[in-house]
Amino acid sequence: MLAAYSQERTMRLDYSFSGRTSEAVIALDELRVIEGWAGRRVHLKELPLKGNGQLTLRAAQNGEVLYRMSFSTLFQEWQNTEEATQLRRSFENVFLVPMPDDTAVVTIELFDSKGNIQAVLNHYVNPGDILVRPASSNPAVKDIYIGGPVEKCIDVAIVAEGYTKSEMDVFWKDAREAVKSIFSHEPFKRMKERFNFRAVGLESSQSGVSIPGKGVWKDTPLHSSFDTFYSARYLTTLKLKDLHDALAGVPYEHIIILANTDNYGGGGIYNSYTLTTAHHHQFRPVVVHEFGHSFAGLADEYYYDDQFSDYYFPEVEPWEQNITTMFDFDSKWKDMLGRDGVSVLEGGGYMSKGVWRGCEDCRMKTNTAAGFCPVCQRAIERMIRFYTE
């Protein structure tokens, strides 16, 4: 019997997701092949979370599921903006799957904010396809923490963004700080040997990153910028292909990008990437908060105002494990009530009403919290176990 990863190669699937508020189109962009498979080797046919989208790889011959993953996208966040009511835009998305032994079918599904399917694409992939271009790169890499072999551990690449050649020593130090901060939080602390963190020193021709709100534009390897969707603190990159091109020679399954700036901000997208400012005094809590999004699919527990008031609905239970609409509270932390200060507090997921969280404070709520709340800790631990046992 052959396992789905028997090829020890990765198939990279590049897509364009486009559309507007209530409309999405998925188009295949390109297929790439990368030597090695750094993804998980257990629970291949299962999903840890529903996510805002899903990918399923099935054997073409008998329909057997070979691999599944769930994810969220910047495109779907954009669909909730004012701009999306006015025009159609497209966004890059990249996914990694184990190279199948034989012809397989990939299904990509995107869900709307009520969890209903909004778009589907099915297409064949053939491991012998002559048009699948190899991807490789040879970036400067330093091991920051190695808990064990690639096959057994969760491999995280920490990527430099906006650091010039002469600033690379600063980046290695920033990468070590990021890992130290993550490992100062439970459950990462007690499960640290299940992770590998490698720093990837991409050199930038200019120092810093783009801050359009201040009229600052920088030429950087990942073209990241603040003011995403006109939100000053929202720091993202739209260039997913450039990001994955740069990482092709590194074993990786999760990504943390450090931006060489002291301008406050960040972003974290489930199973896509974390991107955060490295030189603001809140760097240490923020990088862990964003990794909570990108690694564990946790929701924000804060609610400054109700600008995203159509994000969660009373008749839909969110898939994020640390918030609830009480529609299906049994599926959340009901069994933890009364233990370790866990209760049900209204306010979370950007909404002051109609969404509840488990604790007064948490790394997913404020930068001053002592750590993750027990609800988030359990969700993170479950995700770590999903990858490693």
Q: Which phi-psi region, left, alpha or beta, contains residue 16 (left: φ > 0; alpha: ψ -120 to 50)?
A: beta
Q: Which is nearer to Zn ion, 174 or 290 (CB)?
A: 290
Angle 160-372-355 (CA atoms, 0-180°, nearest 5)?
105
Residues that bind Zn ion (CB under 5 A): 322, 362, 364, 373, 376
CA distance 117 to 268: 23
CB 380 within 8 A of CB 187: yes
CB of 299 to Zn ion, least distance (A): 9
CB of 337 to Zn ion, least distance (A): 15
Q: Which is nearer to Zn ion, 34 or 380 (CB)?
A: 380
Angle 125-126-127 (CA atoms, 0-180°, nearest 5)?
120
CB of 298 to Zn ion, least distance (A): 7
Q: Which is nearer to Zn ion, 10 or 322 (CB)?
A: 322
Nearest partner of 57 among 99, 17, 2, 25, judged by Cα:
99
CB 268 within 8 A of CB 274: yes
CA distance 333 to 379: 10
C-alpha to C-alpha distances, 357 to 283, 324, 378, nearest whole angstrom: 24, 7, 14
CB of 362 to Zn ion, least distance (A): 3
Q: Which is nearer to Zn ion, 262 or 360 (CB)?
A: 360
Q: Which is nearer to Zn ion, 149 or 341 (CB)?
A: 341
Q: Which is nearer to Zn ion, 113 or 322 (CB)?
A: 322
CA distance 377 to 345: 17
- Find tokens 């990008």 and name the residue: 257
User: Which segments of 128-205 does DSSP mark as H helices, in order?
Assistant: 168-182
CB 277 within 8 A of CB 265: yes
Q: Which is nearer to Zn ion, 158 or 364 (CB)?
A: 364
Nearest partner of 218 among 275, 273, 164, judged by Cα:
164
CB of 363 to Zn ion, least distance (A): 7
CB of 181 to Zn ion, least distance (A): 17
- Write the CB contacts of 50 (distance below 8 Å, at least 6 apart in sequence): 70, 111, 115, 319
The tokens for 253 are: 């399954």
CB of 274 to Zn ion, least distance (A): 17
Q: Which is nearer to Zn ion, 161 or 300 (CB)?
A: 300
CB of 236 to Zn ion, least distance (A): 23
